[in-house]
């Protein structure tokens, strides 16, 4: 009995498979056609002539000339890392598509492509992502950095088409930073400064502008270690240490500029008396009445404490406990 009924379900399954095969084939064929259509559309979106298409309009007489890029590293086709070794202009600016249309009707605007800079309608995150496709990879700590947090675009600081990027030129770099850092610009024009405005130093010597885990994007783990890069004689260790020197240079000095000598926060003796008690000292500079003679001392009016305590950063002299030698 069972042997006679069993073939019926098998026949039904085989029939179903036979009937569904054309449908599956039709679906597969439709998916393949769609993929081919997408691929064809993508291929049409990119220019067949690469940069030559762009140069028809973007010559030296246009509003946006681009010939200067051929003087930069980005246009070296022999280097496989560069945009011009790939899709040339479209590596960064995306498919030219309708933007490359030669004839425009009256009143018709040219289709937009990916532009860079402050005036671009493209979100900063998208602009920077294009740059990081080549310049990321762990080389910079941009993610989570101070500059990323305030939506600073790479093109806000870098001039990609320029033969000489100002931010990479020692005497031009500070002006790029000053566009945002107005207070620091003012500090560098005070009487006592680090020689940034003279082209001797750059901002990037002390600050890692692409991101750092340190305060103020310092290039080294601490402020003192950053200062020791140029002032190794202050590093120590000393036989007789001066505590604030080992703790933080900024306790006594402004890093960018000051109206006091040697970038000091205050002039001695007022600077010194922020920490050192007047008790037991032979002279007090706060008022003339506090001095033994009742009149201001010439020594205090000139070098103040450093007339005697000349080794304020530390001393290796056996008798230098008072930092006097």
pLDDT by residue for the chain (325 residues), tens only, comes to: 444 444 444 444 444 544 444 444 455 554 554 444 444 444 458 888 888 888 888 888 888 889 999 999 999 999 999 999 999 999 999 998 888 777 677 777 888 889 998 888 999 999 999 999 998 877 788 888 899 999 999 999 999 999 999 999 999 999 999 999 999 999 999 999 999 999 999 999 999 999 888 889 999 999 999 999 999 999 989 999 999 999 999 999 999 999 999 999 998 888 888 888 766 665 555 555 555 555 655 556 667 788 888 999 999 999 999 999 8
Other beta carbons within 10 Å of 30: 10
Q: How far is 224 from 233, CA to CA, in rounded Å?
A: 12
pLDDT attached to residue 270: 81
Measure the CA dihedral 22/23/25/30, to 10°. Answer: 140
Q: What sign does the dihedral 21-22-28-32 (CA atoms) show?
A: positive
Q: For residue 273, which of 317, 237, 228, 304 has the smallest C-alpha distance? A: 304
> What is the model's pLDDT at position 15?
46
**How many CA atoms within 13 Å lie on the side-chain side of 191?**
6
Cα separation, 280 vs 292, in Å, equals 12
In angstroms, the CA 258 to CA 158 distance is: 30
Given this model, what pLDDT does residue 208 score?
Answer: 94
Question: How many other C-beta atoms are found inside a 10 Å radius of the C-beta of residue 296?
Answer: 13
Count Cβ atoms within 10 A of the Cβ of residue 204 and give its class: 0-12 exposed, 13-18 middle, 19 or more buried.
Answer: middle
CA–CA gap between residue 125 and residue 147 (Å, rounded): 12
b/e per residue, 113-143, with b = 16+ CB within 10 A? bbebeeeeebebeebbebbeeeeeeeebebe
pLDDT of the residue at 82: 93
CA distances from 67 to 61, 161, 197, 233, 290 (A): 10, 8, 31, 49, 73
Q: For the chain, first and last CA: distance in Å?
A: 118
Both tokens of residue 67? 């010939």
- Alpha helices, DSSP H, located in 158-239: 173-178, 182-187, 223-228
Is it true that the peptide bond before 286 is cis, omega within 30 degrees of 0? Answer: no
Provide φ and ψ at 153, rounded to 5°.
-85, 145
CA angle, residues 44, 47, 48, in degrees to nearest 5: 90
């Amino acid at each position: 009995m069972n042997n006679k009924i069993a073939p019926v379900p098998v026949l039904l399954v085989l029939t179903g498979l036979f009937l569904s095969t054309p449908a599956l084939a039709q679906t597969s064929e439709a998916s393949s056609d769609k993929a081919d259509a997408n691929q064809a559309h993508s291929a049409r979106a990119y220019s067949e002539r690469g940069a030559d298409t762009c140069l028809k309009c973007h010559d030296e007489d246009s509003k946006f000339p681009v010939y200067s890029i051929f003087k930069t590293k980005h246009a070296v086709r022999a280097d496989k890392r560069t945009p011009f070794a790939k899709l040339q202009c479209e590596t960064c600016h995306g498919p030219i598509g309708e933007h490359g249309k030669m004839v425009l009707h009256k009143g018709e605007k040219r289709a937009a492509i990916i532009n860079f800079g402050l005036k671009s309608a493209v979100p900063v995150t998208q602009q920077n992502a294009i740059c990081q496709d080549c310049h990321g990879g762990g080389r910079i700590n941009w993610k989570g950095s101070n500059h990323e947090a305030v939506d600073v675009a790479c093109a806000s600081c870098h001039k990609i088409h320029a033969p000489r990027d100002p931010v990479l030129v020692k005497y031009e770099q500070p002006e790029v930073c000053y566009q945002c850092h107005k207070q620091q610009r003012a500090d560098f024009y005070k009487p006592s400064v680090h020689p940034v405005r003279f082209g001797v130093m750059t901002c990037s010597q002390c600050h890692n502008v692409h991101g750092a885990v340190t305060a103020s994007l310092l290039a080294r783990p601490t402020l003192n270690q950053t200062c020791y890069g140029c002032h190794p004689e202050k590093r120590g260790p000393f036989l007789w240490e001066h505590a604030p020197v080992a703790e933080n240079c900024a306790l006594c000095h402004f890093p960018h500029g000051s109206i006091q000598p040697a970038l000091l926060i205050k002039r001695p003796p007022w600077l010194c008396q922020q920490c050192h008690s007047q008790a037991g000292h032979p002279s007090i500079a706060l008022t003339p009445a506090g001095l033994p003679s009742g009149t201001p001392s010439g020594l205090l009016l000139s070098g103040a404490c450093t007339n005697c305590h000349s080794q304020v950063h530390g001393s290796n002299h056996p008798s230098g406990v008072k930092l006097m030698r």
